[in-house]
Amino acid sequence: MELTLWTYEGPPHVGAIRVAASMRDVHLMLHSPQGDTYADLLFTMIERDGKRPPVTYTTFQARDLGSSTAEMVLHSLREAAERFKPQVLMVADSCTAELIQDQPGALALGANLPVPVISLEMAAYTRKENWGAAETFYQLVRGLLSRQAPPPGSERPSRAADVRPSVNLLGPTKLGFRCRDDVVEIERLLMSMGVDVNVVAPLGASPRDLQLIPKADANVNLCPEVSDLTCSWLARTFGMPTITTIPMGWGATRDFITEVASVLGLDIDVGAVGASRLPWYSRSIDSTYLTGKRVFVFADGSHAVAAARVARDEMGFEVVGLGTYSRERARDVRAAAKEYGLEALITDNYLEVEARVQELQPEMVLGTQMERHIAKRLGIPCAVISTPAHVQDYPARYSPQMGFEGANVLFDTWVHPLIMGLEEHLLHMFRDDFEFNDSVGPSHLGSEGEGARSTGQSAGGQPDGDKTLVWAFDAEKELKKIPFFVRGKARRNTERFAEEQGLSTIEVDTLYDAKAHFSN
Amino acid sequence: MSSVIASSVEEHHPGPQTQERGQRAVFCGLTSIIWLHRRIQDAFFLVVGSRTCAHLIQSAAGVMIFAEPRFATAILSERDLAGMADCHEELDRVVGELISRRGGINRLFLVGSCPSEVIKLDLETAAAKLQVKHENRVRISAFSGSGIETTFTQGEDQCLKSTVAELPSLASGEQNLIVLGTVSDIVEDQFRRLFDDLGIGNVSFYPGRKAGDLPAVGKGTRVIAAQPFVGETARALIDRGADLISAPFPLGAEGSKSWFEAVASVYDVPQERVQQILELPYQRAKRALAPHRAKLEGKRVHFLPDSQLEIPMARFLSEECGLEVSEIGTPFHDQLIMQGELARLAKDVSIVEGQDLDPALARVRESRPDLTVCGMGIANALESEGLRTKWSIELVFSPVQGFDQAGDLAALFAKPLVRQDILEVGSWS
């Protein structure tokens, strides 16, 4: 049993629903108890879809457990096939159905349904949402394409000279982070390189579209959490190369252009493809105060790695923590963290993330909806960069994260929660203003400010039994003169310094000694 | 009973007319945690279930940002299912972790889910054992919020029922009144003032604002339901000697008047005094309803099953706002608690207990009502088909009971229609 306050991912069958709801002409029959239809709301409310997701639930109740729930499965399958007439019917268990073992996949295969059936094994007690989406997408693509596969070892024919190069964009789904606009942005970018987009999948694709995947020259692994498995199967089976750079941030977008050009054998001047305002905004003097702002990054694997690069190389922040809840991408994140001289935090335990943020006392958190809870508790500015997200991160306006426009969006989004430069200077100088002070948030956020700030708490949270470190009254008072957004770090550094020096009381001088000590 | 409705036996609604079985698009009882955690501020809800359960609750509540969450899930792992880990020991550890993290909680609810019930994990026994261990710090009890056992608001019923055994006994010769079912703070305050004016003392609201607010129960206890989904708790209170007062629910001017009259008559408050005290709020409610009635009158409303509030809401809309009711779907029809309502419902109104989603939606499309009251999994889909909807969950999340909320209640239903008239963007048909 694992105590979970917040979960970063839903169960795997929600991943399966994401794939089904992203596509056209597929239907999912989910064997599940009454109540699991809450998942519909993710699509009708958070994604604001104007139709129900293509899912039929058996919705068994306690009284059904006595009789045959398998009968309900067969009934639901026939009804779904008849009513919705999908090109492909997918069948899966939710977590409770997994316990009663009706084997709905096997039942479906034996039921002589007038539609091809793909049976999914969801492993609800070991796997999670992104795995479920990846597995579902993979099973669909494999199920539809394996018969088209050329014999192993055969050479992939090269593109005819009069055919425009094309790629597939694989991985975007409903309930992904800004997938809707990322697809538009990347399609536009590829278009301006003279590259066609053959199939976008799962988002907007039908099973017939999936059958066209091998016609493209390469696959863009746009959301590896969902499409990694499929891309590597397509590479193995059809010899299709995979483009792996995630074009999030200015530099990564340029790298993406370079990789697309090299994989497709195109001669392209990167600088001529497009431009972002981020580089100039970030170089302009108004941004100087962003230098060295300490940020903590936690997200799904691909967004975490991409955000860390933007944070350090394009915004001039210092990345003080980097982590992910995607165990499947742990290796990438560890490698990236190493580059920043950090130990990656690989966990899906919200409390561990909270403890790390508290320990590091960053000036900003780039995270998920869950990190917003942590940031509120600790009084730290926060921006959302990845799922899990809530309805406010499925906006009406064009808001890609990828490509050149995506970089513009990132700049605005990340700077917004921070106190603006002039206000920051004045807070350093004058502490007791009746309007502008520690207990109110940044004035440009109006009442959005998070209220009381508690960053001044002891870094460890709870006082440790063995330690007898005491803050003298004057020193504590002096500490309060440091603005809240750096006070946590000052307290932590001072305490660390005092411990190293074997001091038991922190005086005003200790505070300044520590400041001098850590000033490099 | 109010004199507004002339009621002969034949005109009474006979009760459920049809039952339907099939796919049900409803919430499970775990969802009741979303409002219970706010009502009972010092309680913590620990769901024992799967990642699905955790995901459900955070998808619903996680749009709010919590500095201190008041609910969590103990997620069962493969080891628990394979019997490699002793579930009771595991629960012991998790509860210990939780209690040490959260000092301020006075009541811990272990909440059963579909997985915990299918594997027959006995949470009641676990709660009793844990209670011994944490005796001085926190009260611990268990209830089921599983989808296989409970639908949406039934979770509250199970939650309340789980604490009935702990209620102190009412001293013999004493009298008290228990108002059963969560109402918002402001409604509680208004009701208390009216009970005071009526000279009815010793009134408890159950659940109260603190976990320790447990009313006494015994021979002199009268219970009146403020919500229609508390049937099992009502029965448990009856088992402990309480009498249930039958009344319609306090929705709208008429509903509220009848509700207070029913209580007053049990307490033998003189008729003139009752009329005198209720007259002012009653007339005020009527005034507040009038402008909304103008927008709603003559419209047709269709209820899909959700919270058991459907029957009283349909009564309110037809009796006080002049709507025609084309169908009342309800997830569960409790005849005991609904007695006072059925007496006032036109006998030809179709009541459907249970659900078979696709045929039920086909009936909505067929009859094209002016307003469909339904869950959020369906609402936007119907809107895009050109049908106006009122998402039903809001009826549970809003202060709607009592005289001074009658106008607000009508406004909830009028708003989608008003919006249709205001908006010039796009087309709804």
Q: In this complex, do A11 and B93 lie within 8 Å of one another by their Cβ atoms?
A: no
Q: In this complex, do A96 and B50 lie within 8 Å of one another by their Cβ atoms?
A: yes
Which chain B residue is nearest to residue A31, measuring alpha carbons?
Answer: B23
CB proximity A2 to B under 8 Å = yes
Chain B hits for A46, CB-CB cut-off 8 Å, are: 59
- Cα of first residue to Cα of last residue in chain B, in angstroms, is 43
**pLDDT at A442 > cutoff 80:** no
SS (H, E, C) A353-404: HHHHHHHHCCCEEEECHHHHHHHHHHCCCEEECCCCCCHHHCCCCCCCCEHH
Report the distance separating Cα A42 and Cα A65, nearest Å.
28
71-100 in chain A: CB under 8 A from chain B: 76, 79, 83, 94-96, 99-100
- Model confidence at A451, pLDDT cuts 50, 70, 90, reads very low
Report the distance separating Cα B279 and Cα B296, nearest Å.
25
Q: In this complex, do A33 and B27 lie within 8 Å of one another by their Cβ atoms?
A: no
∠ CA B320-B323-B326, rounded to 5°: 130
Q: In this complex, do B114 and A51 lie within 8 Å of one another by their Cβ atoms?
A: no
Average pLDDT over residues A469-473: 90
- Model confidence at A438, pLDDT cuts 50, 70, 90, reads low
User: Which residue from B67, B148, B381 is facing A51, i.e. has the nearest CB?
Assistant: B381
Q: In this complex, do B91 and A1 lie within 8 Å of one another by their Cβ atoms?
A: yes
Average pLDDT over residues A127-138: 98
- Please indicate whether residue A155 or residue A433 has the higher confidence score (pLDDT): A155
Q: How far is CA A190 from CA A6, A257, A268, in A?
A: 38, 8, 11
Residues B110 and B103: beta-carbon distance below 8 Å? no
> Which range, of B120-134, B213-227, B337-351, averages the lowest pLDDT?
B337-351
**Residue B17, min C-alpha distance to chain A (Å):** 21
Peptide bond into B312 cis (omega under 30): no
User: Which residue from A51, A56, A125 is facing B77, i.e. has the nearest CB?
Assistant: A125
Amino acid sitting at position B237? L
Residues A89 and A63: beta-carbon distance below 8 Å? no
Q: In this complex, do B81 and A99 lie within 8 Å of one another by their Cβ atoms?
A: yes
pLDDT digit string (tens) for A240-293? 999 999 999 999 999 999 999 999 999 999 999 999 999 999 999 999 999 999
Q: In this complex, do A124 and B149 lie within 8 Å of one another by their Cβ atoms?
A: no
- Cα of first residue to Cα of last residue in chain A, in angstroms, is 45
**pLDDT at A467 > cutoff 70:** no
Query: HSE of B40 in the Cβ direction (CA atoms, 13 Å)?
Result: 28
Count of CB atoms within 10 A of residue B47's CB? 25
**pLDDT at A431 > cutoff 80:** no
pLDDT digit string (tens) for A69-100? 999 999 999 999 999 999 999 999 999 999 99
- Residues with Cβ within 8 Å of residue B138, at least 6 apart in sequence: B99, B105, B106, B107, B108
What distance separates the 2 farthest-apart alpha carbons in chain A? 82
- Please indicate whether residue A304 or residue A520 has the higher confidence score (pLDDT): A304
Give residue B319's pLDDT. 94
CB proximity A48 to B under 8 Å = yes
User: Which residue from B52, B358, B384 is facing A94, i.e. has the nearest CB?
Assistant: B52
Give residue B2's pLDDT. 31
**pLDDT at A520 > cutoff 90:** no
| pLDDT above 70: percentage of residues in chain B | 95
**pLDDT at B64 > cutoff 80:** no
Residues in chain B: 429
Give residue A457's pLDDT. 46
- Give φ, ψ of A232 to 5 degrees: -75, -30
pLDDT digit string (tens) for A1-11? 999 888 999 99
The model carries a pTM of: 0.91
Average pLDDT over residues B377-383: 95
Residue B210 per-residue DSSP state: S
Which residues on adjacent β-strands are paired with residue A367? A384
- Residue located via tokens 């982590």: A323
Give residue A518's pLDDT. 83
227-266 in chain A: CB under 8 A from chain B: none
Report the distance separating Cα B391 and Cα A121, nearest Å.
34
Nearest to B383 by CA among B425, B352, B353: B425
**pLDDT at B383 > cutoff 80:** yes
Residue A182, both tokens = 């990322």
Instruction: Give the CA radius of gyration of chain A.
Output: 26
- Give φ, ψ of B41 to 5 degrees: -70, -25
Average pLDDT over residues B346-364: 93
Q: How far is CA B67 from CA A160, A483, B18, in A?
A: 60, 22, 47
Give residue A465's pLDDT. 44
Which residues on adjacent β-strands are paired with residue A93? A31
Give residue A439's pLDDT. 65
SS (H, E, C) A84-138: HCCCEEEEEECHHHHHHCCCHHHHHHCCCCCCCEEECCCCCCCCCHHHHHHHHHH
Helix (H) or strand (E) holding A419: none
Nearest to A210 by CA among A187, A192, A233: A233
Q: What integer best gives the mean pLDDT of chain B?
A: 92
Average pLDDT over residues A164-173: 97
> Which range, of A193-202, B99-108, B124-133, B408-417, averages the lowest pLDDT?
B99-108
In a 3-state reduction of DSSP, which class is residue B360? helix
- Model confidence at B347, pLDDT cuts 50, 70, 90, reads confident
Give residue B66's pLDDT. 72
Residue B144, both tokens = 């089921």
Report the distance separating Cα B54 and Cα A11, nearest Å.
9
Chain A hits for B25, CB-CB cut-off 8 Å, are: 37, 40, 59
- Model confidence at A425, pLDDT cuts 50, 70, 90, reads low
- Specify whether the backbone of A175 is left (phi greater than 0), alpha (psi in -120 to 50) or beta: left
∠ CA B149-B150-B156, rounded to 5°: 135
User: Which residue from A40, A62, A83 is facing B148, i.e. has the nearest CB?
Assistant: A62
Give residue A213's pLDDT. 98
pLDDT digit string (tens) for B305-330? 999 999 999 999 999 999 999 999 99
Q: In this complex, do B63 and A76 lie within 8 Å of one another by their Cβ atoms?
A: no
Give residue B70's pLDDT. 87
Report the distance separating Cα B198 and Cα B92, nearest Å.
49
User: Which residue from A34, A100, A376 is facing B118, i.e. has the nearest CB?
Assistant: A100
Query: Beta strands B243-244 and B71-75: pairing type?
Result: unpaired
Provide the strand spans (E) within A120-212: 166-170, 196-201
Cα-to-chain-centroid distance, residue B398: 11
Count of CB atoms within 10 A of residue A142's CB? 16
Cite the DSSP H helix spans in B207-343.
Answer: 231-239, 252-266, 271-296, 310-321, 335-342
Report the distance separating Cα A7 and Cα B58, nearest Å.
8
Report the distance separating Cα B260 and Cα B199, nearest Å.
12
Report the distance separating Cα A400 and Cα A246, nearest Å.
13
User: Which residue from B26, B85, B117 is facing A34, i.e. has the nearest CB?
Assistant: B26
Q: In this complex, do A7 and B58 lie within 8 Å of one another by their Cβ atoms?
A: yes
- Model confidence at B68, pLDDT cuts 50, 70, 90, reads confident
**Residue B37, min C-alpha distance to chain A (Å):** 14
Q: What integer best gives the mean pLDDT of chain A?
A: 91
- Model confidence at A459, pLDDT cuts 50, 70, 90, reads very low
Report the distance separating Cα A242 and Cα A328, nearest Å.
18
Average pLDDT over residues B171-199: 96
Chosen for mutation from A9, A28, A95 (greatest number of chain B CBs closer than 10 Å) is A95
Cα-to-chain-centroid distance, residue A492: 30
Residue B342, both tokens = 């059925």
Residue A43 per-residue DSSP state: I
Give residue B397's pLDDT. 85
Give residue A421's pLDDT. 61
* Sheet containing B324-330, strands listed edge to edge, beginning at the edge strand earlier in sequence: B18-20, B351-354, B324-330, B300-303, B371-374, B389-391
Average pLDDT over residues A32-48: 95
Torsional sign, CA A269, A270, A274, A279: negative
**Residue B343, min C-alpha distance to chain A (Å):** 30
**pLDDT at A456 > cutoff 70:** no
CB proximity A33 to B under 8 Å = yes
Q: What residues of A act catalytically?
A: 286
pLDDT digit string (tens) for A368-418? 999 998 988 888 899 999 999 989 999 999 999 999 999 999 999 999 988
